[in-house]
Amino acid sequence: MRDGRAPVRVALADDSAIVRDGLARVLGDVGFEISGCAQDADELLRLVEHERPDAVIVDIRMPPSHTDEGIVAATEIRNRFPEVGVLVLSQHVETEYALRLLQDRHGRCGYLLKDRVTRIDELTEAIARIVRGEIVVDPELVHRLMSRNASPVRELTPREREVLALMAEGFTDRGIAARLWVTQKTVETHAVHIFRKLDLPEGASYNRRVHAVLAYLRA
């Protein structure tokens, strides 16, 4: 729920009624407003067009073929309704599918594994970050992407790559500092070096943190 404002409105899409109903119940209990539920991609797109929720939670594999219908719908939502945040909640690590979603330069999207979201506060925090325009990526997906070779990301030092990986997982500078047992000032210095090496411009309308994460995920 947003401080002093209307609750965050969330639409849910999953072919499992148990998953849909369970998510709707737990999110409703903690203050989210459920805009509606969909059991397939077409129904989800109609729902988003009609309700314009703040965020959508969608699985990758949905009817009729149970392959990539969910990610196709998520990508279309990002293109047609960029103000709507999209969180893919999947049973599987699908690197290429994830990159199709996360390549959007405006953030406001994420990819988490169902089995790793064990507490409701983890899910609510991910939704909140996405609504704020951030990118949220499951640590397992980050680990898969770390093995990919690319420039200019490979120009980063091991510590800078570690900091960037934690950024991709959604950690703040303070959270990264606590995780790495360094000061927040040290993390901020690493961030400046990362932005410079990735040749990211400055500007009030340009979120360098989001673009750094996108560069890392595309690497």
The mean-pLDDT minimum among 62-71, 92-101, 205-214 falls in: 205-214
Cα distances from 196 to residues 19, 57, 62, 156, 185, in angstroms, run 43, 34, 41, 10, 17
pLDDT value, residue 167:
84
Averaged pLDDT, 69-95: 87
| Model confidence at 148: pLDDT above 60 | no
Averaged pLDDT, 179-185: 91
Cα distances from 66 to residues 39, 63, 71, 123, 202, in angstroms, run 12, 5, 11, 24, 42
Give the residue from 4, 43, 12 showing the smallest Cα distance to 28.
12
How many secondary structure helices (H) and strands (E) does the chain include? 10, 6
How large a percentage of the chain has pLDDT more than 70? 85
Return d(Cα 199, Cα 32) in angstroms, integer. 39
Greater pLDDT, 36 or 195 = 36
The mean-pLDDT minimum among 57-61, 97-101, 106-110, 163-167 falls in: 97-101
Q: Which stretches of the chain are assigned E, i.e. beta strand?
A: 9-13, 33-38, 55-58, 85-90, 109-113, 135-137
CATH number of 9-136: 3.40.50.2300
DSSP letter (8 states) at residue 201: P
Averaged pLDDT, 128-147: 79
| Model confidence at 175: pLDDT above 60 | yes
Domain with CATH 1.10.10.10 in the chain: 148-218
Averaged pLDDT, 25-48: 94
Architecture of the domain whose range is 148-218: Orthogonal Bundle (1.10)
DSSP letter (8 states) at residue 82: T
pLDDT value, residue 180:
92
Averaged pLDDT, 43-47: 95
Instruction: Please list, residue by residue across 134-147, b when 16 or more beta carbons sit within 10 angstroms of its beta carbon and e when fewer do.
Output: bbbbbeebbeebee
Per-residue confidence at 36, pLDDT binned at 50, 70, 90?
A: very high
Domain with CATH 3.40.50.2300 in the chain: 9-136
Number of C-beta neighbours around residue 42 at 10 A: 14
Name the pTM for this structure: 0.68
pLDDT value, residue 95:
73
